[in-house]
Structure 1
Amino acid sequence: MERRQPAGDDESATSEPSRQVGPVTVRGDQVPRTTTDQRLLDAPPPGELADWLHADPWRVLRIQSEFVEGFGTLAELGPAVSVFGSARTKPDHPTYELGVRVGRALVEAGYAVITGGGPGAMEAANKGAWEAGGTSVGLGIELPFESGLNPYVDLGVNFRYFFARKTMFVKYAQGFIVLPGGFGTLDELFEALTLVQTRKVTSFPIVLMGTDYWGGLFDWLRSTALSNGTVNAADLDLLRLTDDVDEAVRHVTQGATDIEPHPAE
């Protein structure tokens, strides 16, 4: 099969600063100094409370539009798995190649691949899906240090608000495969774990790829969280830790285990 030309792979592309603001691309002096999430969550400056209160209800319409856009775009996606990992992963790092293999294996198993659409490990999973001829999805977010979706995304939606974007990761995926990553990856991981543990979602397997990277987290959960009674033994079984791509894909595509998580106390 002849490989497609990735989007944005153009030597004449502009080098100006750029940012994706929801569905809008801005460059140069049009790039805003703040993000939509920041303006939503920051306290209003002194003396501007009244204006902020009056403006806030209008934000509800924008938030609503993000959910409508996401639902409308992804409703017919079909079986899919969300893959997370660090945006800082370099193309020559072993984790990048691991992400490519994961993306390719998921497509070969009949699944679309959903990522955050950024660089690093996300790009790697999208690249693997793209090279395998599958559906490569990117759910981008407005950030001051990222300029849009990676070139291996076939189907992309850009969000202003993290909470709207995070809903799409869970709603349209049958499970998560988590590559080594930082705060953002941990946020997605533990939000998914909380949803499964509290039975807000069911049949949602979660796999961590990389025993050297994630092993310390597993050890801490067993030796500290479990021993202090803040989690139950069954809760730890909600996670599968492996270095084997085939095992990861098999686990996440076969659905959740029979273990019933205990509700949070």
Structure 2
Amino acid sequence: MKSHDRGRSNGDGYRKGPVLLRRDQIPSTTSDQRLLSGADGAGWLHGDPWRVMRIQSEFVEGFGALAEVGPAVSVFGSARIPPGSPDYVLGEAVGRGLAEAGYAVITGGGPGVMEAANKGASEAGGLSVGLGIELPFEQGMNQWVDLGVNFRYFFARKTMFVKYAEGFVVLPGGFGTFDELFEALTLVQTHKVTEFPIVLVGRSYWSGLLDWLRGPVLERGTISAVDLDLLNVVDDAEEAVRIVCERGAELRAAELAAVEQATWAEQQAAESSVP
């Protein structure tokens, strides 16, 4: 077992697209690893076109499954948080609060904080969505997911997290959570997506990261002071939900105003063209 796999289990098996594998059938590499490997020389000429078809199918299936989800918020956090722990309880409260506010809750579909947020949303009567990923230590979709989609490729899955969310709530987590956080932050900072709210929950957990951003990162000019305003830091679920709801209302009002302005402009153009 590889060092980074210690302490993990295969749960209900390893999912490779629609295929379920267990025990000796579990491969030693993932689809992402094989896609990004350059060791096969010209072999990509034969294999990669088929990968492109699989990638295309993942986008099509994801778009089709999530097209009618409605207003939603992506919640990120560690898979290693045990049930009943303070962070797990916090995740439940976030999921419950978002569902009560009318949002679907999207997570990675796994255990820990993801399970907690899905549980809170489901128990509150909201739509609980899970976007799973093919990993060597696959633990399966948690039982609180109402709508689940499994992905081979991280980049296809990340697109779904962003495309169908109106905000991002980030609870304590590790490398995967950091990756999702900075992906969302980069897209908002570069205006690749609408300026959706990004909320970090747990000041004590995130304070070290924020000190580093405000310190050497800002001092060297690699970010601007205004970039730090993209991050909202809170300690409780209620405040996180409030920020998401307020920003969502602002965005919907701005969208409505833009539609009304466009309609007015079209009417004016039509009237001016009448002889």
Instruction: Work out whether the TM-score is over 0.5.
Output: yes
Give the match for residue 20 of structure 2. Answer: 25
Q: Distance in 2 between matches of 1:253 and 1:210?
A: 19
- Structure 2: which amino acid aligns with 1:220? W
Give the TM-score taking structure 2 as reference length: 0.84
- Between 1:172-181 and 1:32-41, the stretch displaced more is 32-41
Q: What SS class does the counterpart of residue 114 from structure 1 fall into?
A: strand
Per-residue CA deviation, residues 22-63 of structure 1 (Å, 9 max, x unaligned), is 23322233322221111111222xxx4233332112211110
Cα contact 1:16–1:28 (8 A) shared by 2: no
Q: Distance in 1 between matches of 2:51 and 2:21?
A: 20
Q: What are the equivalent positions in structure 2 for 1:98-137 lying under 5 Å apart? A: 98-137=90-129
Cα contact 2:14–2:135 (8 A) shared by 1: yes
Structure 1 regions of 5+ residues with no counterpart? Answer: 1-14, 259-265
How big is the shift at 1:130?
A: 1.2
Give the TM-score taking structure 1 as reference length: 0.87
- Alignment RMSD (CA, Å): 1.7
Q: Distance in 2 between matches of 1:74 and 1:51?
A: 35
Give the match for residue 273 of structure 2. Answer: none
Mark the CA change 1:16 to 1:248 in structure 2 (over 3 Å): closer, same or farther: closer
- Between 1:140-149 and 1:24-33, the stretch displaced more is 24-33
Q: Distance in 1 between matches of 2:35 and 2:105?
A: 30
Per-residue CA deviation, residues 156-190 of structure 1 (Å, 9 max, x unaligned), is 00000000000000000001000000111000111
Larger Rg: 2
Equivalent residue for 1:43, pick from 15, 38, 41 = 38
Mark the CA change 1:110 to 1:219 in structure 2 (over 3 Å): closer, same or farther: same
Q: In the alignment, does 2:209 pair up with 1:217?
A: yes
Q: In the alignment, does 2:190 pair up with 1:195?
A: no
Runs of at least 4 residues off by over 3 Å: none
Cα contact 1:23–1:159 (8 A) shared by 2: no
Q: Distance in 2 between matches of 1:50 and 1:191?
A: 32
Equivalent residue for 1:228, pick from 214, 220, 231 = 220
Give the match for residue 178 of structure 1. Answer: 170
Structure 2 regions of 5+ residues with no counterpart? Answer: 1-9, 252-275
Per-residue CA deviation, residues 114-142 of structure 1 (Å, 9 max, x unaligned), is 00001111111011111111110000000
Q: Distance in 1 between matches of 2:148 and 2:58?
A: 13
Q: In the alignment, does 2:136 pair up with 1:144?
A: yes
Cα contact 2:132–2:151 (8 A) shared by 1: yes
Q: What SS class does the counterpart of residue 105 from structure 1 fall into?
A: helix
Q: What SS class does the counterpart of residue 148 from structure 2 fall into?
A: strand
Per-residue CA deviation, residues 60-105 of structure 1 (Å, 9 max, x unaligned), is 1110000000000000000100000001111132100000000000
Identity %: 71
Q: Distance in 1 between matches of 2:142 and 2:21?
A: 16
Q: Distance in 2 between matches of 1:223 and 1:56?
A: 44
Equivalent residue for 2:236, pick from 209, 223, 244 = 244
Give the match for residue 89 of structure 1. Answer: 81
Q: Distance in 1 between matches of 2:110 and 2:23?
A: 20
Q: Distance in 1 between matches of 2:49 and 2:228?
A: 41
Q: Which has the higher helix share?
A: 2
